[in-house]
Amino acid sequence: PDLSIYKERREKINIFQPISFPKNEEVKIDVGSPLTYPPDTNIGNRTAFGNALRHMVEINSNIADTSPFAVFDCDLKDSVKTAGFNKGAKDKQKYRLFEAGIQEHHTASMAGALSIEGILTIFADFGVFGICETYNQHRLNDMNHSNLKLICTHLGIDVGEDGKTHHCIDYIGIMRNLFGFKICIPADPNQTDRIFRYICKTPGNFLLGMGRSRNPIILTEKGDPFFGDGYVFEYGKMDIIRKGDQACILAMGCMLWRAVKAWEILQQKAISVMVLNVSCPLEIDLELLRIAAQTGLIITYEDHNINTGLGSIVAEILLKHNIRVKLKKLGIPYYAPSGKPDELFEVSGLGINRLVEEVEKEVRLNV
């Protein structure tokens, strides 16, 4: 057969021209008003996610024209806190919880495909399964412009006793390879609630990540919930938790409350340190990063592989924008054993006292 016609067609194709994808079906939901947890609340971020999910389905169950919800997990509903969703849903057909079994790859693909059909689609799993195990499925979801809300609990060595096979310490390093996924790592239950509602109403692929342990409520210096009434989450915006001018700690997720404890100890040592919360590690707040650099010392503090997480991203941005400042990275240096989270943080050089020592040492050198 004459193949010249096909050759001619191929030569006319611009393979580097971006493909124009049709818009996904619109998701119409009411995310409701956030729940605010008082200072003495003793729950984890994953429980706050589960509470917000149930609250949202209860609200939308009473509204006729909202979109369906599809919530997926892999036989982990009690651990990833999706169990309450079924209890809050009046219409079990419109609001479905799919227990997909131990089929993470299939679940990620199924959830991604469903997410473009005008259905609020949530896939909740442990980090080691929902990220590490299913990376290629999320890569394909990203290529196909899905609208998936990926909720991963049990991140970092905060998982504790489950051991190194279940310590997902590379969640940023893996997911930052995907061009269309945004990553949010909340600091406490109040911020978790607000970020979850934000990603549900915002088109696009999101990873909302959190640890296993209970998180203290982050407070202002006056003792009020920092992420409580009046706080509005903005993607890419860092938060000034404490002010200081001799150094700045950039903390993420479950490390923020530890950074605040370190700040209190350093105050007693007459060392003035700024503490910033980084909840969106892929989009660093450049304005606040410049302010942090004015202290002369930035320390990144994360429950993540030290080579591929927040510290490395901050280093790249400082270099790109020619911001001159001393940078110290504190993160996980190697696979951790099984143990209680606080013990593992100590073993990994991430305990509160170790942070205090590092800041004090570096500040003294700068004097």
What's the rounded mean pLDDT across residues 298-306? 98
What's the rounded mean pLDDT across residues 158-163? 95
Query: Residue 12: is its pLDDT beyond 90?
Result: no
Ranges in the chain annotated CATH 3.40.50.970: 45-209
Query: Residue 286: is its pLDDT beyond 80?
Result: yes
Per-residue pLDDT tens digits for 170-205: 999 999 999 999 999 999 999 999 999 999 999 999
Query: Residue 3: is its pLDDT beyond 90?
Result: no
Q: Which residue has the tokens 């999320």?
A: 138
Of residues 367 and 7, more confidently modeled: 7
State residue 131's pLDDT score. 97
Query: pLDDT-based confidence at 15, cuts 50/70/90?
Result: low
Query: pLDDT-based confidence at 10, cuts 50/70/90?
Result: confident
Query: Residue 4: is its pLDDT beyond 90?
Result: no
Q: What is the CATH number of domain 239-366?
A: 3.40.50.920
Per-residue pLDDT tens digits for 21-44: 778 889 999 999 999 999 999 999
Counting residues of the chain whose pLDDT is more than 70, the rounded percentage is 98
Q: Which CATH architecture has domain 45-209?
A: 3-Layer(aba) Sandwich (3.40)
Query: pLDDT-based confidence at 367, cuts 50/70/90?
Result: low
Query: pLDDT-based confidence at 13, cuts 50/70/90?
Result: confident
State residue 21's pLDDT score. 75
Per-residue pLDDT tens digits for 208-235: 999 999 999 999 999 999 999 999 999 9
State residue 17's pLDDT score. 65
State residue 240's pLDDT score. 98
Ranges in the chain annotated CATH 3.40.50.920: 239-366
Report the C-alpha gap between 27 and 142 in whole angstroms. Answer: 18
Query: Residue 308: is its pLDDT beyond 80?
Result: yes
State residue 16's pLDDT score. 66
Average model confidence (pLDDT) across the chain = 95
